Structure formats: C-alpha cells, structure tokens
Structure 1
Amino acid sequence: MVSIILASLFVITIILIYIYLKRDYSPSSDDLPGVKPHIFFGNLINSGIVSKASTFREVMLDYQHRFGDKFQFWFGSHRYFNLLCSNGIIMLTGARWKRHIRVLLPMFKRTKIIGHLETIVECADRFIDQNLHSDQIHRDLISCCQSFTINVIGFIGFDYDFDIHVNLSIKKAFQDFIFYAKFLIIASWIPRWLKKIYLKYDSKYQQAYRLIHELAEKLVEEEQNNRENEGPKNLIALLVSSLNEQANDEHTSSGLTRSEIFDEILVMILAAYETTSAAIAWFIFFVSKHPQIQQRMKDELREHHLLMTDDLRGKPPATSDNLTSLIYCECVTKEVLRLAPIAGLIIRRATCDTNTDDVKIHRGQTIFIPLQNIHTDTRYWHHADPRQFIPERFLAEDQNHHPLTMIPFGGGHRACIGQELAWLELKTIIVRMMQRNITFEDTSENTGGYDERIACFPKNLAVHVRFDRP
C-alpha cells in the first residue's frame, strides 16, 4: 500500500513539474519571435550549440537574420551561472557590487595601468623569445598567448612570476576550471542544486578548485608577510589591505572578507588566462591572411624610428606617447576587437518590469546583447564589408562610428573593469611583435573557425613565423 502511494506521488510530482515547465515555455503574447524552445534544453539543442555544430556568435547572427534585431533565445529553465565564483565582482549586484568596486577600481584606472607598460613589454619580449621561432610553423600559439596574459596579471597584479612559480598541474587546473565554467553555461537547464551536488563530488573539479585556492592563499599569505608601510602598489596588496572579515553590505561597511578576496583573485587569474589571449590569437590569424597590413604597421614604426635595426642597439623605447602616436597600429587593435570581441555576449538582468523599444521586459529576465551582430552591422559600418578585417575603416568614414556600435568591453557602469589593461596589453604586444620584425605567414592548416570557450579562439591557428632582416 505504501509503495503504491509513493509511486502515485512520484507520478503526480513528475506531471506537475511537466505542466509547470510546459507553461513556463509556452508562447505568450509578450514573446519575441524565435525558435520554439524545448523543455529543459531551451534552444541549446535545436540551435546546434550542444552538438558544437554552431557557436553562440553564429547562432546570434542567424537569429538576427531570421527574426530581426529583437528575438528570444532560451538557455533553459535555469539561466544563471554563479557557482564557481559567487563572490567575484562579475556576479554581484546592488550594494555588494558597490562595496567590491570601491576596493578594486583604483588599481584598474588608466593612470595606474599605464605605469605598468614596461612590465607588459618585458612579458611581450618573453613571449616572443620563448615561443616564436623563425622559419617554423607554429600550431600551439593559443596556449602561448594564454601564458603571456597570465604573466602580465601575475606581475602587475600579484608581483608573481607564473612561468617560474606555477607548475603544470596548476595550469591544468586553470584549464579545467574554464571547462567547468563552460559546462555550467551550456547545462543551464540543470537545476542549480543538482549542479552544486555534481561539483561537490566531481574529483576533477575539486582538485582544480583546491590547487587554485591554495595558490590564492599563498599569494595572500606572501603579501601579508611582506607588507610595507607604504600604500598598495598592486592588486594583491590592495586586496590584502582591504581584508575585513566583518565586511557586509551596509553603507558604513567596507573591505572584503577572505572568501571574497579569493574569488576576486580567481576571477582576475581566469580572466587573464582566457580573454585578452583570444584577441592576440585572432590578431595573429587575421594578419597572417593580410601581409600588407603587417607591412604597413612596420612602415609606421619605421617612420617613428621605432623599428628594430642593426644600428639600433638595445630595445627601442616603449612609452605611452609612442603607442599613442602609432595611429595605424591603433586601427589594427580596434579592428581585432571589432571583428573578434573578447566576449561574444554582454549579459544584463532586468531588476524591474519595464518596456523598451515596444518590448515588455519582466523583472528577472536576462537580456543578451550579441556583440558580433552590432560590430558587423552594415547599417552602422559603411567602409567596405564589415565582416572583413580592414583596419583602414577607422581612417575613413567609420572613424566617427556611433560609440555603441563597438562595445567589446561592454558599456555603462558595469563595463569590464579591466578594459584599460586589456587594451594596453593587446596594443603593446601587437606593436612589439611588429617592432621586432616578425612576419606571420599563412599556411594550408590555418583555416580559422570558432573554438568557443568562455572567450572565442580561432579553431585552427597554424602560421609560419619569419624574423625579417632589418
């Protein structure tokens, strides 16, 4: 009798869950056009994302072509990802976000970042000397680009040499963490409580979490042991000086707790590992297809007496004024970020019911802003085909493009806090590679495509590297 009752309750529960989800996914008069979602899986399967037949960027462009500028895309019944670093600034809202931003923002202002230019140049030289070999085909440049960006954040953020002090197991932990981040995004249809249980008992994730946590604890402990009386010089010093276990979201409270500091370190390391490195990889891919662009960059460097030559001993000076004067190199940097933005989507969540452009938006809904759609829209980009890599567009009519038609770092007060660093990193290493007379040549294996992780990398990047004689 008891088993019959339990079986009946189970069946009733399943039916109620199905009815709830069916109702949740049923069309309503407020819905935007789009493909009918599946229960649990939303549009992840019928768009080809789960099978990897398509990427988010390709799907967003396809949906815009089919349904116009405003459409709906369903990730599943549970759309939010904050299990890996719930205390990181990118996951926070309201008073808690304001408390974190007050701590972090001072270290990411341009006046602070520009002071690290010499360090970024040194990291760029290390990247070139260790990874680029003349007259060879390079197929592993993505991992090399990741090493460069993580070295930059290591030195300027933590005064730490990741190449020397971080072993292969920790670097593997970074990769595993990124894998789980992507998994949680794709598996948004799985209930949060079930994903939490899965992560708790997944040995691979727990090993990665433990290694990264130990690294963060080591960075904090070393900073505490080496603190001087002067003000904070880098991110880790700033974080340690803000340590306050009683910190809360009251207006009178300030600082960060130890667990919050750990998550901020985690976000900074993973962002360095995954983001700007993608832009560098895309630069190498694009210019390998356009040798005339590399030549024009070198011509500009020569005009400013910054190209390395036999009669120029030592290293040409790298200053912010030099970088600013290199107009064409800046156009190339912009074109990389336009055509291959670091993030494929900007995500915002509605905090109240509203009506925007005749679209009803309900509190709690997630708004996607697909950057590839905006950055390649022929209505806003007029110089040649916006789907092509043409830096000259920023010297022609597109130099005065609407500011919201190119937002690789987002916009508003929730724009990427590290955008000044990302921009300086990207332009510096682009200039440095050209400055040292490197030429990237196309190969038959260099077919591109999209490898979508947290950031999007060229799927097949294989270039021949040549060091030109001055």
Structure 2
Amino acid sequence: MWLILFLTFIVAFIIYLKLKYFTFRSSVPGLPPQFLFGNLLQTGLFKGNSLPQIYTSLRNRFGDIYQLQLGLFHAFIISNIDDIQHIFNHRHIYDQSDWAVKLAGILFPNCLITVKGAKHKRHAAVIMPLFRRAKSISNFDSIIDCTEKLLENWRTFSNDHIHCDIVQQCQNLLLQIFGLIAFDYDLETINGSNTNELTQTLSNLSDVLEQTIFLPNFISRIYTIFSSQYRRDRATAERYLYRMIEQELTKTAESRAQRKKTSLIASLVDSLQTDEIAEAKKSEEEKKGKL
C-alpha cells in the first residue's frame, strides 16, 4: 500500500515538474524542452558550444524572437537590434528580466543586472549615463592608448606567429579599458601577466558564475556558504572597492562633481548619502543615495 502511494507521488511529482517547468505555453517558437535538461542537450551547450553560437543557430531557425529553456531557467530571447533598442529606450515600461536575477542573483545580489524595480532604476541612474556615446568620447584617448599597447604587444611577435587567443586578448582589452574608465585602476590585463590580485579575483568570480549559472538556486546558495574560495574572492573584491572609495573621498567635492561625468567611481561616491539613518527610513522608490 505504502509502495503504491509512494510511486503515485513520484509519478505525480514528475508530471508536475514536466507541466510546470518543461512545457511551453506560448505560441513563440522554440525547441521543445527535455525533462530536467530543457534545451541544454539539444543546443550542445555541454559539448562546448558557446551561448553566442547557440543564439545565432536558434535565431536562424526560429527568427528574431524565440524561447529557450536551460535547465529550470526559461527565457524569451529577443535578438533583433531594433527591438532591443526599443526595450532599452523604454525602461520605464520594461522591467529587468527575472532570468538574470535568478541566474546570478545569489552570487552577486546587488549587481545592476540582478536587481529590479526602483532599486534597479536607482543603480541605472548612476551607472548607465556613463556609457552613453557622448560620455565615451571623453575617454577616447584612454581607449586608444590601451588599444595601442595591445597592438605593440602583437608587434613583438614575428610575422609568422599565429595568435590563437585573440578573443581572450580582446576581452582583456575591454576589461583594461573598463577598469581605467570606471575606477581609474590599472587591471594590468593587456600584458597577460596575471599578477594583479584584483584581476585574478575578478577572473575567479567570472569562472564561478560560469560554473553555477545553470544550477538550481539551492545548489548555488550552498556553494556560496561552503566555498572558502568564493568568500575569499568576494572579500578581496570588496576590499579593493572600498579602498577606491576611500581614495575618491579624499578628493574635493568640486573635483568629484567634474569627474563624475566620466568616471564611474566618482559618480558612485558622489551618490552616497550623508545621512544613512534618514535614507534607510525612506521607501525604495524614494531612495536616491547609497546604492
């Protein structure tokens, strides 16, 4: 009797999971998800296919809008540049996706991509203006200098040398540019020495995100609790960030007011409220100070 009840419960639970998480209920096209895996096996993600390759393949097959199920995580993928531009130009209508919040929210709970609602708008009001074209032009010299350094490194090799890591080097270039523009900090990624502690820490955190991004939330939460490496890397990143904030606070208010137009760290420090107790009493929509 108990065995029959147990088997009935297991079958009912499997049916529930199938209907709840692995059944599409929309007319938007997509690969039919497989039980427990979604589209992980069908897309070849476990075989080494990158997400850009998967997105391109599915776009060619289903068009600009399609569904994608990676494990328990379901998303509608929009790949038409005009649609994407419309969404980002009307953020007062379109809220932050739940997908990014679920995927990375446990590891990085206060990132721009893992917060929603008023908190996201407060973050974006400080961060996003710095990445507009008009603000990027003022940092053009830094961008050119970093690019020239990378090209100089390439020129040291013979003409017959084949660079097999250009993608990685270009990613390092972007990280170097971002570090200088955002935090006035040299991450030393162009020389490829891997001796910079903060750079290595960011690399470790990126690896953790790649390893846990499609795991169930409870497993990711367990990892954050018991992984000493993750806790150590996060503490290191916070230590460097607080050090940058302290250095920025030593500068004059006039200097920060001028630099906040082109420097993320100056903009962040300038947004800190002076009365934390009063700020904490405000509703989420009214808060404008500390992020």
Cα distance in 2 for partners of 1:254, 1:155 equals 26
Kept in 2, the 8 Å contact 1:89–1:100? The answer is yes
* Residues 208-233 of structure 1: CA deviation (Å, up to 9, x unaligned): 32322222222122212334433151
Q: For residue 193 of structure 1, what is the aligned residue in structure 2?
A: 218
What per-residue deviation string (whole Å, max 9, x for no partner) do you get for residues 29-48 of structure 1? 64544433222211111322
Q: 1:171 to 1:142 in 2, by over 3 A?
A: farther
Q: Deviations over 1:159-213 (max 9, x none)?
A: 222229x8344323222222222233333xx2x1222112322233333323222
Q: Indicate whether 1:238 and 2:263 are aligned.
A: no
The structure number with the bigger radius of gyration is 1
Distance of 1:17 and 1:220 partners within structure 2: 50
Question: 1:91 and 2:91 equivalent?
Answer: no
Aligned partner (choices 175, 182, 200) of residue 157 of structure 1 = 182
> C-alpha displacement at 1:63, in angstroms?
3.9
- Which of residues 38, 41, 44 in structure 1 aligns to 2:37? 41
What is the number of residues matched between the two proteins? 248
2:142 corresponds to 1:119: yes
**Distance in 1 separating the partners of 2:113 and 2:41:** 27
- Equivalence for 1:203: 228
Show the counterpart of 2:124.
101
CA distance in 2, matches of 1:218, 1:253: 25
CA separation of 1:148 and 1:57: change in aligned 2, threshold 3 A:
closer
Give the TM-score normalised by structure 2.
0.70
Q: Name the structure 2 match of 1:229.
A: 254
Relative to structure 1, the CA distance from residue 77 to residue 10 in structure 2 (aligned partners, 3 Å threshold; closer, same or farther) is farther
Secondary structure, counterpart of 2:179 in structure 1: helix
- List aligned pairs for 1:329-348, cutoff 5 A: none
Contiguous gaps of at least 5 residues in structure 2 = 75-101
1:21, distance to aligned residue in structure 2 (A): 0.3
CA–CA distance in 2 between the matches of 1:72 and 1:123?
39
Q: Classify the secondary structure of the residue corresponding to 2:42.
A: coil
Counterparts of 2:284 and 2:180, CA distance in 1: 34
The CA distance in 2 between the partners of 1:210 and 1:25, in whole Å, is 35
| 1:74 counterpart residue number | 69
- Please list the CA deviations of residues 85-128 of structure 1 after superposition, one character each: whole Å capped at 9, or x if unmatched: 22222233322222222222443333332122222222222223
Q: What letter corresponds to residue 240 of structure 1 in structure 2?
A: V
Instruction: Select 2:50's aligned residue among 49, 55, 78.
Output: 55
Q: 1:75 to 1:100 in 2, by over 3 A?
A: same
Q: Distance in 1 between matches of 2:24 and 2:144?
A: 55
Counterparts of 1:134 and 1:44, CA distance in 2: 40
Runs of 4+ with >6 A deviation: 7-13
Q: Which of 203, 216, 238 is equivalent to 2:241?
A: 216
Per the alignment, residue 20 of structure 1 pairs with 16
CA separation in 2, counterparts of 1:120 and 1:69? Answer: 32
Alpha carbons 1:35, 1:73 under 8 Å: kept: yes
Pair 33,199 (structure 1): closer, same or farther in 2 beyond 3 Å: same
Q: Kindly state the Cα deviation for residue 75 of structure 1 after the two structures are TM-superposed.
A: 1.6
- The SS at the match of 1:73 is strand
Q: Secondary structure of 1:171's match? A: helix
- Alignment pair present for 1:146 and 2:171: yes
Q: 1:95–1:249: 8 Å Cα contact kept in structure 2?
A: no
Task: Confirm or deny: 8 A CA contact 1:33 1:71 kept in the other structure.
Answer: yes
Once the two structures are superposed, residues 2-37 of structure 1 have per-residue CA deviations (whole angstroms, 9 ceiling, x without a partner) of: xxx9x9998776555323202225656645444332
CA distance in 1, matches of 2:125, 2:64: 36
Give the share of equivalent positions with the same residue, in percent: 27
CA distance change for structure 1 residues 218 and 131 in 2, over 3 Å: closer, same or farther? farther
Distance 1:129 1:91 in 2: 38
Question: Is the 1:36–1:43 Cα contact (8 Å) retained in structure 2?
Answer: yes
Cα distance between partner residues in 2 of 1:26 and 1:74: 8
CA distance in 2, matches of 1:140, 1:56: 18
Name structure 1 gaps, 5 residues minimum. Answer: 258-470
What is the one-letter code of the residue matched to 1:235? L
Tell me the TM-score normalised to structure 1 length.
0.46
RMSD: 3.4
SS at match of 2:70: coil
- C-alpha distance in 2 between matches for 1:107 and 1:66: 36
Distance change >3 Å, CA 17–CA 206, structure 1 → 2:
farther
1:419 corresponds to = none
In structure 1, what is the Cα distance between the partners aligned to 2:154 and 2:141? 20
User: Structure 1's 23 and 172: CA in aligned 2 closer, same or farther, altered over 3 A?
Assistant: same
Within 5 Å, give how 1:252-401 maps onto structure 2: 252-257=286-291
- Structure 2 contact 176–186 (Cα < 8 Å) conserved: yes
